[in-house]
């Protein structure tokens, strides 16, 4: 999929979003003091219930998500600017506002570390755009890139007006069939942060059916989470920069880049390492690339390009 530089794996609303037991702070309604600006014609406010349908709607037209908080004046100012731009673009994208305090696990699905944060969603895939405030002309430039990426991937629909576009009103797909028992066990284990149990469930699923691509991808994702569980990104980058020949340091940064959505950077880093290594070290890097290809998805154009580059580096 053609896209701006940063991208993350598709949002998994089945496994990541379960907010039923959480207490939620109240936020003033849109237009009230302390709340976000009143929504414009192509602006909607989204919560955990409407979030899955919002992701689905991104297959029809681009969605720009603003993660905001009532205590952040920068958030409310950016909400006003983005709302004006959404109206100006006349439906070429839908602005979706998400209150991170009321919907913490939705924010977690976007890996939001601070607010405001702006993320585009195209065909169910989140594309981190920027954090904090930007001048209006720079915001326009970012949106132009998003619209170009959407057009390149055939996402050219026009968002309906907000009173018709609430994500809950997006036609729902047919109800998904239940997951196979071992896959459900893995999802449940990930939700309770029991990665060992998730790994065990996916491994058993692969033993029972070696062609279970979903289990293979799940196993790769669990491995990525396990390897990066206690990693510090700044320290990892510093270690990798200080010693370019430290294969373990390069592998860790690549893992963290994939987790943070910098998939192309991760692939390029490891392919460069393949070119300068041999023997067991080269095989370890090759195998890590194969694992990360599973995380990104075999049909992802970035994976297709990286496979070609890896073959050239190896042979």
Q: What are the tens digits of pLDDT across the range 109-156?
A: 888 888 899 999 999 999 999 998 889 999 999 999 999 988 888 898
Please give, one letter per residue, the 3-state secondary structure of 43-58: EEEECCCCHHHHHHHC
**Residue 39 banded pLDDT, cuts 50, 70, 90:** confident
Q: Which residue has the higher pLDDT, 28 or 159?
A: 159
**Residue 108 banded pLDDT, cuts 50, 70, 90:** confident
CA distances from 170 to 116, 158, 160, 167, 203 (A): 26, 13, 10, 5, 36
- Does the pLDDT of residue 194 top 80, yes or no? yes
Q: What are the tens digits of pLDDT across the range 277-313?
A: 999 999 999 999 999 999 888 878 888 999 999 999 9
Quick one: CA dihedral 226, 229, 230, 234, positive or negative?
positive
Q: Which residue has the higher pLDDT, 164 or 41?
A: 41
Q: What are the tens digits of pLDDT across the range 69-94?
A: 888 888 888 999 999 999 999 999 99
- Cα distance between residue 3 and residue 11, in whole Å: 16
């Amino acid at each position: 999929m053609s896209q701006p530089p940063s991208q993350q794996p598709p949002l998994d609303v089945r496994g990541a979003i379960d907010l039923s037991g959480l207490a939620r702070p109240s936020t003033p309604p849109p237009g009230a003091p302390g709340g976000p600006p009143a929504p414009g014609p192509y602006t909607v406010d989204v919560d955990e219930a409407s979030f899955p349908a919002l992701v689905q709607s991104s297959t029809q037209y681009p969605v720009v998500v603003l993660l905001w908080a009532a205590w952040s004046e920068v958030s409310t100012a950016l909400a006003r600017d983005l709302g004006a731009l959404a109206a100006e673009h006349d439906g070429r994208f839908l602005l979706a506002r998400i209150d991170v305090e009321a919907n913490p696990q939705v924010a977690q699905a976007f890996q939001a570390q601070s607010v405001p944060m702006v993320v585009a969603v195209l065909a169910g895939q989140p594309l981190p755009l920027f954090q904090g405030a930007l001048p209006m002309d720079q915001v326009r430039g970012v949106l132009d890139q998003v619209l170009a990426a959407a057009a390149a991937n055939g996402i050219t629909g026009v968002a309906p007006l907000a009173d018709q576009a609430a994500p809950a009103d997006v036609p729902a797909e047919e109800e998904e069939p239940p997951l196979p028992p071992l896959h459900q066990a893995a999802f449940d284990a990930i939700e309770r942060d029991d990665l060992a149990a998730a790994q065990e469930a996916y491994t058993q699923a692969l033993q029972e059916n070696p062609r279970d691509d979903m289990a293979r991808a799940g196993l790769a994702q669990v491995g990525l989470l396990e390897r990066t569980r206690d990693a510090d990104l700044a320290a990892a980058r510093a270690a990798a920069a200080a010693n370019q020949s430290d294969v373990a340091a390069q592998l860790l940064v690549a893992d963290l880049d994939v987790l943070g959505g910098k998939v192309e950077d991760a692939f390029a880093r490891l392919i460069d390492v393949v070119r300068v290594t041999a023997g067991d070290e080269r095989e370890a890097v090759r195998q890590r690339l194969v694992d990360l290809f599973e995380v990104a998805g075999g049909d992802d154009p970035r994976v297709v390009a990286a496979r070609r580059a890896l073959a050239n580096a190896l042979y």
